[in-house]
């Protein structure tokens, strides 16, 4: 079997499911494994997820960014979830996290991996770092981004506007199923919320998922908002 590239969605501490997913896709030492950010917070095995990613590759998610920003903040100023993350991480984890790129190009697949999204008409190198980690509903040429549940009328998910040339692989937004378009593949399927963990396997673009072993974190069943075709986001 030729070497493959395996991109995995948001872990949020779901280490056991990550191992199960790697086993299901038959990952070998010759495969390239990339985690699409948000390794930490919310779930049970945050340190293990970081150390798993350290053995492979990862990009920065907004939760890694927050973890770095709050590293030296007084404990009483942290919410319990962020404090729990701090308590399990060592200096070497922070040092590795600080070096994470905000995107990875995969030119052999005409693809790019980002955590959240892209504004149309700009190469990834020219994107605002904020949008790479947070983009959801947009209305170009405005530079803002909104959660689907808070977006003004007429604002639509960024995948409606992105026309390539590269296909963007991303996480961040929790979908009820993978979002697949000609130019984008969204693979955060809410494992930490009791749903599933998803990977996309290149060059075939096969989607592979494993179910969550339990619901580690609640609160994402409040409402579903259609964002692209029959794909909905929990928001």
- Six-digit token string for 10: 């948001």
Burial tier of 63 (Cβ tally within 10 Å: 0-12, 13-18, 19+): buried
Q: How confident is the model at residue 43 (pLDDT cuts 50, 70, 90)?
A: very high
What stretch of H or E contains 112?
strand 111-114
Residue 221 has pLDDT above 60, yes or no: no
pLDDT of residue 132: 98
Q: What percent of the chain has pLDDT over 70?
A: 97
Q: How many domains does the chain have?
A: 1
Burial tier of 130 (Cβ tally within 10 Å: 0-12, 13-18, 19+): middle
Those residues with Cβ within 8 angstroms of residue 2's Cβ, 6 or more apart along the chain or in another chain: none
**Which residues on neighbouring strands pair with residue 231, listed in sequence order?**
228
Orientation of helix 80-88 relative to helix 62-69, angle to 10°: 80
Residue 156 has pLDDT above 70, yes or no: yes
* 199 to 21, 132, 169, 180: CA distances (angstroms): 8, 19, 10, 12
Q: How confident is the model at residue 30 (pLDDT cuts 50, 70, 90)?
A: very high
Residue 75 has pLDDT above 90, yes or no: no
State the CATH number of the domain containing residue 220.
3.60.21.10
Residue 1 has pLDDT above 70, yes or no: no
Domain interval for residue 221: 5-234
Residue 205 has pLDDT above 70, yes or no: yes
pTM for this predicted structure:
0.96
In our burial notation (b when 16+ CB lie closer than 10 A, e otherwise), range 223-232 reads ebeebbeebb
* 132 to 73, 80, 99, 122: CA distances (angstroms): 25, 26, 16, 12
pLDDT of residue 76: 87
CB-CB contact of 146 with 136 (8 Å): yes
Residue 222 has pLDDT above 70, yes or no: no
pLDDT of residue 234: 83
Digit-coded pLDDT (tens) for 177-198: 999 999 999 999 999 999 999 9
* 190 to 13, 16, 24, 233: CA distances (angstroms): 12, 14, 18, 10
């Amino acid at each position: 079997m030729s070497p493959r590239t395996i991109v995995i969605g948001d872990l949020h501490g779901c280490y056991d499911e990550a191992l199960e997913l790697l086993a299901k896709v038959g990952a070998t030492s010759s495969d390239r494994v990339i985690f699409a950010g948000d390794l930490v917070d919310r779930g049970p095995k945050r340190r293990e997820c970081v150390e798993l990613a350290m053995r492979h590759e990862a990009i920065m998610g907004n939760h890694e960014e927050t973890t770095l920003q709050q590293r030296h903040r007084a404990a009483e100023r942290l919410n319990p979830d962020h404090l729990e993350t701090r308590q399990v991480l060592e200096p070497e984890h922070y040092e590795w996290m600080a070096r994470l790129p905000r995107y990875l190009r995969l030119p052999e697949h005409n693809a790019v991996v980002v955590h959240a999204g892209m504004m149309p008409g700009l190469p990834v190198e020219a994107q605002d770092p904020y949008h790479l980690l947070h983009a959801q509903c947009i209305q170009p040429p405005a530079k803002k981004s909104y959660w689907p549940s808070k977006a003004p009328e007429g604002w639509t998910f960024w995948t409606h506007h992105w026309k390539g040339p590269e296909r963007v692989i991303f996480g961040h937004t929790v979908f009820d199923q993978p979002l697949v378009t000609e130019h984008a593949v969204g693979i955060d399927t809410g494992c930490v919320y009791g749903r599933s963990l998803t990977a996309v396997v290149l060059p075939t673009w096969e989607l592979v998922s494993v179910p969550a072993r339990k619901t580690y974190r609640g609160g994402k069943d409040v409402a579903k908002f259609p964002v692209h075709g029959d794909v909905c986001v929990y928001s």
